[in-house]
Amino acid sequence: MTPCTLCPRQCGIDRSKNRSFCHAGSEILLSHTMLHHWEEPCLSGQNGAGAVFFGGCPLGCVYCQNRTIVEGKVGREVTPHELCEVFLQLEKQGAHCIDLVTPTHFWDRIAEAVKEAKARGIAIPFVANTGGFERSEILQEYAKDMDIFLTDYKYGSRETAQRYSSFADYEAYAFGAMETMVSLVGEPCFGKDGLLKKGVIVRHLVLPAHETESMAVLTKLFERFGNGILYAIMNQYTPPHGIGGQFPELASPLHPIAYKRVVRHAERLGIENGYMQEGGTVSESFIPDFPTQRGQTT
């Protein structure tokens, strides 16, 4: 972290003294833990995924639903040992997996906690739940103990990536990260209980007015990975308050017909392994109850 090169921005900031685009300091910022019932069914199962939300974010999408925590203003700082204790407690509560949400800017410290948890006998899979904004070198060094990658693949053009996430080269990094993730964990492997034990799930959120770009993203992924990964095609885009002023195309939810066109395209490609969403996902009820001030977790 000194200088920090964990994410593709490679800002070089000394995070023990300053904060960069990700709003993160040198210590792990833990914002929220929960048994999460809204992840993909193969992760949530009956009891829920053991979600661990980290504060800050290196990507900072303009439409983010988790903006309460991405600015790094809430949550509490923890050591790797304390984080390990969180993992073990979630397992005791019945979590089917440990779901690390936005770990990118804390990979080096999280890796310590994961190693300790595995040494102490944790028996459930670890899930790296990322925005797809990863450096392959960092994944190979710090994420090699992950069992499952649940990764976004957000954009199919430099223009869209720059407009919504201030990083035109997003897709190049996301595709390279996908290659690395598949090489680390292989094809999907399920247990007798139907839950995923190993593999990669790629999420793609279809944005309003971007259905053609979404089709191109799915085509590119299927041509490279086929059904060797799981696909989650999402329709849950929820317009943040006031976004229409600067981004008028994002002022309304995705039209159901546009989503159906993307799903039909996926079917025509031959995508068989994955998930689609039905109506009713555009709701604040799908956003966790995050803490409201620094020093708190929920």
Tell me, what's the pLDDT at 123?
98
Q: In the structure, what pLDDT confidence band is assigned to residue 296 with cuts at 50, 70 and 90?
A: very low
Sign of dihedral through CA atoms 272, 63, 291, 151?
A: positive
Tell me, what's the pLDDT at 280?
60
Tell me, what's the pLDDT at 100?
98
Q: In the structure, what pLDDT confidence band is assigned to residue 286 with cuts at 50, 70 and 90?
A: low
Question: What mean pLDDT is predicted for residues 237-253?
Answer: 96
Do 177 and 205 touch, CB atoms closer than 8 A? no
State yes or no: pLDDT of 201 exceeds 60. yes
Tell me, what's the pLDDT at 1?
66
Tell me, what's the pLDDT at 289?
59
Q: What is the mean pLDDT of the chain?
A: 93
Tell me, what's the pLDDT at 63?
96
Note if the pTM is more than 0.75.
Answer: yes
Q: How far is CA 140 from CA 5, 24, 110, 232, in A?
A: 14, 22, 14, 24
Q: In the structure, what pLDDT confidence band is assigned to residue 288 with cuts at 50, 70 and 90?
A: low
Question: What mean pLDDT is predicted for residues 232-246?
Answer: 95
Tell me, what's the pLDDT at 228?
98
Tell me, what's the pLDDT at 2?
76
Question: What mean pLDDT is predicted for residues 88-109?
Answer: 98
- Residues β-bridged to residue 129: 101, 150
DSSP 56-106: --SS--TT-TTHHHHTS-SBEEE-HHHHHHHHHHHHHTT-SSEEEES-GGG
